[in-house]
Amino acid sequence: MSSATHKTNGARFLDSLGISYSIREYEVDLEDLAATTVARKIGMPAEQVFKTLLTTDGSGNHFFAVVPGDAELDFKKLARAAGVRKAEMVSLKDVQPLTGYIRGGVTVFGAKKAFPVFADETIELFDIISVSAGQRGSQLLLSPADYLRAAEATIADLAKDIRPEERSKANAG
């Protein structure tokens, strides 16, 4: 690890569990915090760069949904996995008070509260995945098994089904 790299809360959390990882840093563009952009900047396919979304059932319960960078969260699938009637995104203004992290830097590791984590089933398809390290401009690279264990995540089908021609169009951008 270079001396310019500093430990984030997410990295410290993994250290406390003895989980090996690497940190990949990138230049942040506040106008474009998309996971697909992060993937391009760190040189990984978007489907291996997982974004962490904070959701709610509207009744005060919160859940993290972890989906591939090139996918969209299917709220009906998340609700089914979480055993609730509905799921929706938490208001952006509530993300930092609930997690301690800001948009573009949300991770389940070291969050203020340990909300249940649901990870898309495609996470197990890869040797290495990337997730936010807990701050913009810094990604953690680790094995899916280590991520799932550290996050105490439940695996579920969470991504919206898109037709193959839409996927190739989405990946072309």
Do the domain assignments include residue 4? no
CATH number at residue 22: 3.90.960.10
Residue from 99, 112, 113, 107 nearest 137 by CA: 107
Do the domain assignments include residue 82? yes
Task: Write out the chain's pLDDT in tens, 173 residues.
Answer: 333 456 899 999 999 999 999 999 999 999 999 999 999 999 999 999 999 999 999 999 999 999 999 999 999 999 999 999 999 999 999 999 999 999 999 999 999 999 999 999 999 999 999 999 999 999 999 999 999 999 999 999 999 986 555 545 544 44
Do the domain assignments include residue 166? yes
Rg (CA), the chain: 15
Do the domain assignments include residue 142? yes
Do the domain assignments include residue 3? no
As for how many domains the chain has, the answer is 1
Q: What range defines the domain where residue 153 resides?
A: 9-172
Output the six-digit token pair for 167: 């996927």
Do the domain assignments include residue 2? no
